[in-house]
Copies of this chain bind each other. A is one copy, B any other.
Amino acid sequence: MSNKIQLGPQDIIFPVPAALVVTGTFENPNILTVAWIGMMSSNPHIIGISIDIHRYSYELINSNKQFSVNIPSSENYIKTDFCGIYSGRNVNKFKETRFTPIKSINIEPPIIQECPFNMECIVVNELSFKNYHAFFGEIIETHIDSDKLDAAKSNKIDISKVDPLVYIATIREYWSIGNKLGNSFNAGKKLKK
């Protein structure tokens, strides 16, 4: 039996996406790396993201209350990290990373071509926490690269092809995924007598 050590109040959480959130417009977009993210409802489809209010993206998201969420593959962890270090006030992040903006169908901010999975979101709720502001967006469209689908099952995403980047927040480490262990709403039935 291992002993528990207390670390005090901490914002450590893992695993999370290092999501690339795009705000602004197709002509003037910005990218911010956001680990403070989580699905908050399945019906309607609501995703929450939280941004430091001193960030340029906080200004941009307030201009049109729209954002896209783009999930990077592990191969793009350096570009992903770049978008979290520097400010869009001083740097054109699409230009510096060579990420390609694609027009969204329903919102002004573009999605990122090089990210295999993308969501278009419209803000429907907000909460303020001192230096952080949480935006809750309704997901009105999602996009997947056609070559990341399982050939055997139509529209089923093949996660090994997506190879999503795994972020360990506050501990500040990027990891890849390893092996598939099992299927949910299924594996646990083995325990039932």
Chain B: minimal CB distance from A78 (Å):
5
Flag whether A164 is at the interface (Cβ < 8 A).
Answer: yes
Tell me which of B7, B15, B81 contacts A16 (CB under 8 A).
Answer: B15
Q: How far is the CA of A11 from the CA of B142 in the complex (A)?
A: 9
Q: Name the segment of A22-30, A55-63, A180-188 touching the other chain.
A: A180-188
Q: How far is the CA of A181 from the CA of B181 in the complex (A)?
A: 21
Tell me which of B82, B145, B166 contacts A192 (CB under 8 A).
Answer: B82
Q: Which residue of B lies closest to A167 (CB)?
A: B184
Tell me which of B13, B41, B182 contacts A50 (CB under 8 A).
Answer: B41
Residues of B within 8 A of A152 (CB): none
- A145–B9 contact, CB under 8 A? no
CB within 8 Å for A9 and B105 given contacts A50-B39, A85-B189, A146-B3: no
Interface residues of A in 30-59 (CB under 8 A from B): 35-48, 50, 52
Tell me which of B3, B6, B14 contacts A164 (CB under 8 A).
Answer: B14
Could you write out 13 A-B pairs with CB less than 8 Å apart?
A10-B139, A15-B15, A15-B17, A36-B40, A41-B134, A77-B187, A78-B182, A84-B185, A85-B188, A164-B168, A166-B177, A174-B182, A177-B177
